[in-house]
């Protein structure tokens, strides 16, 4: 008689496992169908609404972010199953440092814990062979988080199947200014290295002062190369949860032609249907965008 | 007896006259209440002939009057607009593409005028992108000619309304005639301060950033700035939006349902509220704009910090 509750529990566990497998199988079938159309190469997420979720559910501060992390893991799994190679997430903005110190500290602690967990054998990194990049002004982070981030980047450097870019201590305007500074430094190095430039130019058809020639040296491609996000192509889709429709200083340079989606669900409530809706919209506009690209 | 009959008659007459006067009084009261409502309904909304008159009637509500759904103190200072959908509108209404663009230009002036009346200081419009050069040559030529003709014809309008007009963009490839008109218009309106219309012609957000970068390089070589001074504030002052006091739009509206920035302002849109309307640009009238403003005023702008 004492075995009965155990048996019931085992049966219940078995049934839920079976249901999970059926769900996983049907999901993968659905993904196969969707993959017949054009699939985005790169999706970016602004994970907004964790604090509002915690408030809504009457949870303690910090629980919202934990729930948000679970939602993130599910999203990553869906993206990689769909064959999306690059996923970028906006984990922490430079502006977020202005929040209450207790909140910033709790978020940093959570991030440290989760970054360290990425190195574990059972983590999603090893499951999908993810290469992880941490993008942002890492000098603004505390030593522990920065060290953990660098360790993860080093440990996953050899992975090449899929890529996860985590924007932490990041602002797009900061990224652009850093890239511009680097381009200027590289340019002046190039000028010093090629001292014969002025001499060679006299024979060419291009006329202009020295200043103009030096200016011509800085091109769009120079700035692009020096962007931290240059390790990935521009995002095809940007999804911001919680219904807010703004970029909040995220990937401004890279999202010139990105499709923007803003589902009303808070980040911990985000689900497969939101991702599918974004991808179906992407597929609808894809042929028009390809035609325009050819026109250029 | 006769007296009684007479009295009776008199009573009846008196009652009748009282009732009639009461009825007359009620009718006049009713007509006073109803007629003012009936009068404005007379010019039918559907009538195309009177459409211009009606538009004037609904727009010109006085400089200070704010629609009841909006709060004056929450008005954005700078509204940007991507005027998408002119060609689709022309196709839908059975007109030529050039007529679609004309309708779009007219809508822009009405839109800008409405913005200024609502107390919005700066309006910027994405008229032509560097990527639009890839369109059919004839269409591009027609568009350039429309800009030139329209801007030239509206110089007096801008002067009378005291609207400063600035044109930002590469401007290297546009026809000479248009460039002359642009300079003329900018010169004629440069002294006005309260209302500013910025037209982005041959503009690209990326090239704007590149231009700022080149300008910084030049200044640093001239010894005007040091490399360590280069930060976001300094960088913003080198962008083409330096012509305005409010370079970052508070609200960006894109019509026709597309949900993309299409390389319009990139840096400047860092904290801008975006509003995507499914309506085509020539149909984006006052009511639709008020909807956008209502949505904007409801939003909680946190700039990354507070909850």
Q: Do B206 and A253 touch (CB under 8 A)?
A: yes
- Phi-psi domain of B75 (left: phi exceeds 0; alpha: psi -120 through 50; beta: other): beta
Q: What ipTM was estimated for this complex?
A: 0.84
Q: Which of A72-86, A191-205, B136-150, B168-182 has the lowest mean pLDDT?
A: A191-205
Of B131, B214, B216, the CB nearest to A296: B131
pLDDT for B46 equals: 36
- How many Å apart are CA B100 and CA B305, to the nearest integer? 44
- Which residue on chain A is closest to B306 by alpha carbon? A99
Q: Do B51 and B44 touch, CB atoms closer than 8 A?
A: no
Asked whether the predicted pLDDT for residue A209 surpasses 80, the reply is no
pLDDT for B2 equals: 61
Q: By three-state DSSP, how is residue B192 classified?
A: coil
- How many Å apart are CA B185 and CA B182, to the nearest integer? 5
Residues paired with residue B164 on neighbouring β-strands, in sequence order:
B196
- Phi-psi domain of A40 (left: phi exceeds 0; alpha: psi -120 through 50; beta: other): beta
pLDDT for A188 equals: 72
> Would you say how long chain A is, in residues?
296
Q: Do A214 and B215 touch, CB atoms closer than 8 A?
A: no
Tokens of A227: 């962007």
Which position has the higher pLDDT, A5 or B276? B276
Asked whether the predicted pLDDT for residue B260 surpasses 80, the reply is yes
pLDDT for A200 equals: 46
Interface test with A, best of B200, B216, B217 (most A CBs within 10 A): B217
Name every chain A residue with its beta carbon within 8 A of the beta carbon of B261: 255-258, 260
Q: For residue B276, what is the enclosing H or E element?
A: strand B273-276
Name every chain B residue with its beta carbon within 8 A of the beta carbon of A185: 227
**How many A/B residue pairs have CB atoms within 8 Å?**
123
Q: Do B271 and A292 touch (CB under 8 A)?
A: no
Indicate which residues of B carry an active-site annotation: 84
Q: How far apart are the CA of B74 and the nearest CA of chain A, in angstroms?
A: 18
Question: Is residue B149 classed exposed, middle or buried when 0-12, 13-18 and 19+ CB atoms within 10 A define those classes?
Answer: middle
Of B206, B214, B269, the CB nearest to A218: B214
Q: Do A180 and B213 touch (CB under 8 A)?
A: yes
**pLDDT interval class at B57 (50, 70, 90):** very low
CATH class of A38-171+234-294: alpha beta
Asked whether the predicted pLDDT for residue B60 surpasses 70, the reply is no
How do the domains of chain A map onto residue ranges? 38-171+234-294
Computed on alpha carbons and rounded to an integer, the radius of gyration of chain A in Å comes to 23
Name the pTM for this structure.
Answer: 0.81
Mean pLDDT of chain B: 84
- How many Å apart are CA B183 and CA B167, to the nearest integer? 9
Q: Do B209 and A253 touch (CB under 8 A)?
A: yes
> Would you say how long chain B is, in residues?
307
- How many Å apart are CA B212 and CA B235, to the nearest integer? 7
User: What values do phi and psi take at A89, rounded to 5?
Assistant: -130, 145
């Amino acid at each position: 008689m004492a075995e009965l509750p155990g048996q019931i529990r085992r049966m219940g566990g078995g049934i839920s496992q079976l249901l999970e497998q059926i769900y996983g199988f049907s999901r993968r079938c659905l993904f196969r169908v969707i993959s017949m159309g054009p699939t985005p190469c790169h999706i970016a997420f602004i994970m907004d609404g964790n604090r509002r979720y915690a408030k809504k559910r009457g949870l303690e501060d910090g629980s919202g972010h934990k729930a948000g992390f679970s939602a993130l893991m599910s999203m990553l799994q869906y993206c990689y199953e769909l064959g999306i190679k690059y996923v970028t997430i906006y984990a922490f903005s430079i502006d977020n440092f202005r929040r209450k110190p207790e909140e910033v500290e709790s978020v940093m602690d959570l991030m440290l814990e989760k970054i360290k967990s990425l190195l574990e054998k059972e983590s999603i990194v090893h499951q999908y062979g993810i290469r992880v990049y941490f993008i942002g002004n890492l000098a603004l982070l505390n030593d522990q988080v920065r060290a953990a981030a660098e360790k993860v980047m080093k440990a996953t450097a050899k992975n090449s199947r899929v890529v996860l870019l985590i924007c932490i201590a990041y602002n797009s305007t900061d990224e652009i200014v850093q890239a511009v500074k680097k381009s200027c430094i590289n340019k002046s190095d190039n000028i010093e290295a090629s001292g014969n430039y002025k001499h060679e130019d006299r024979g060419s058809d291009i006329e202009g002062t020295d200043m103009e020639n030096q200016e011509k040296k800085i091109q769009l491609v120079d700035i692009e190369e020096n962007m931290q996000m240059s390790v990935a192509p521009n995002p095809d889709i940007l999804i911001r949860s919680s219904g807010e429709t703004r970029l909040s200083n995220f990937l401004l340079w890279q999202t010139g032609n990105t499709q923007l989606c803003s589902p009303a669900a808070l980040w911990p409530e985000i689900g497969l249907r939101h991702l599918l809706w974004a991808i179906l919209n992407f597929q609808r506009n894809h042929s028009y965008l390809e035609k325009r690209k050819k026109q250029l | 007896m006769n007296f009684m009959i007479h009295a009776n008659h008199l009573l009846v007459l008196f009652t009748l006259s009282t009732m009639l006067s009461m009825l007359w009084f009620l009718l006049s009261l009713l007509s006073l209440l109803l007629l003012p409502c009936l009068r404005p309904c007379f010019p039918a909304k559907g009538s195309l002939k009177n459409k211009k008159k009606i538009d004037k009637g609904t727009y010109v509500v006085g400089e200070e009057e704010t629609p009841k759904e909006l709060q004056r103190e929450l008005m954005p200072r700078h509204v940007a607009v991507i005027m998408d959908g002119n060609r689709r509108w022309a196709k839908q209404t059975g007109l030529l593409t050039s007529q679609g663009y004309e309708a779009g230009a007219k809508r822009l002036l009405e839109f800008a005028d409405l913005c200024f009346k609502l107390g919005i200081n700066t309006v910027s419009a994405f008229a032509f992108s560097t990527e639009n050069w890839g369109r059919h040559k004839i269409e591009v030529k027609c568009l350039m000619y429309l800009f030139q003709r329209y801007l030239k014809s509206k110089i007096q309008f801008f002067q009378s309304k005291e609207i400063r007009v600035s044109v930002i963009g590469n401007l290297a490839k546009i026809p000479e005639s248009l460039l002359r008109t642009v300079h003329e218009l900018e010169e004629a309106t440069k002294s006005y301060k309260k209302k500013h219309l910025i037209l982005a012609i041959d503009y690209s957000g990326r090239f704007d950033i590149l231009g700022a970068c080149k300008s910084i390089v030049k200044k640093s070589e001239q010894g005007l700035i040091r490399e360590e001074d280069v930060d976001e504030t300094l960088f913003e002052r080198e962008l083409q939006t330096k012509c305005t006091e409010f370079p970052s739009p508070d609200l960006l509206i894109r019509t026709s349902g597309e949900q993309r920035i299409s390389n319009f302002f990139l840096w400047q849109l860092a904290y801008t509220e975006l509003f995507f309307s499914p309506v085509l640009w020539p149909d984006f009238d006052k009511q639709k704009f008020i909807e956008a403003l209502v949505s904007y005023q409801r939003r909680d702008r946190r700039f990354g910090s507070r909850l």
